[in-house]
Amino acid sequence: MSKDIKIRFRHWVYIDDMKFFGPGRLELLERIEETGSIAKAAKLMGMSYKKAWLMVDEMNSYAQSPYVITQKGGQHGGGTQVTETGKKVMEAYKKLDAKLSAVAEAERELLSLI
């Protein structure tokens, strides 16, 4: 009987022992980029606007430069954008994730012993 055995893991970047960036924040930035809105991003993720705003505020406060900028309403309405720095962090995190996944996948010997 063949079994589908996988190694799964989640990883985060810590700053001073505080979870700073991980899968949830990556998804939040991706949703903000898609929708142009923190509120819409939060809704898509099933989280409160307050929690999403706190996550954005924390990222912006602890990072070297902001990951997200907001613009007040006006003639064309307000909006939210992921900055170039935020986009670079997203890509770097995805690359790290791919590398770690490749390492886990390479450990087929362990999986064959289970």
Residue of 109 and 39 predicted with greater confidence: 39
Q: Is the pLDDT of residue 73 over 70?
A: no
18: its two tokens: 């505080």
Q: Is residue 65 part of a domain?
A: yes
Q: How far is CA 32 from CA 35, 54, 91, in A?
A: 5, 14, 15
- To which residue do tokens 């907001």 refer? 70
Specify the pLDDT at position 41. 97
Q: Does residue 104 lie within any of the structural domains? A: yes
Would residue 41 count as lying in a domain? yes
Q: Which of 55, 65, 61 is nearest to 86 (CA)?
A: 65
Report the domain count for the chain: 1
Which CATH number do you get for residue 39?
Answer: 1.10.10.10
Residue 26 lies in a domain: yes
For residues 59 and 55, what is the distance between their CA atoms, to the nearest angstrom?
6
Query: Is 30 within the bounds of a domain?
Result: yes
User: What residue numbers bound the domain in which 37 lies?
Assistant: 21-113
Residue 3 lies in a domain: no
Contact 70, 38 (CB under 8 A): yes
% of the chain surpassing 90 pLDDT:
65
The Cβ-side half-sphere exposure at 35, using a 13 Å CA radius, reads: 15
**pLDDT (average), residues 11-16:** 91
Judged by DSSP in three states, 20 sits in strand
Indicate whether 105 pLDDT > 90.
no
Task: Note the pTM of the prediction, 2 decimals.
Answer: 0.84
Give residue 113's pLDDT.
67
pLDDT for position 114: 65
Give the pLDDT confidence score for residue 79 in this predicted structure: 85
Contact 38, 30 (CB under 8 A): no
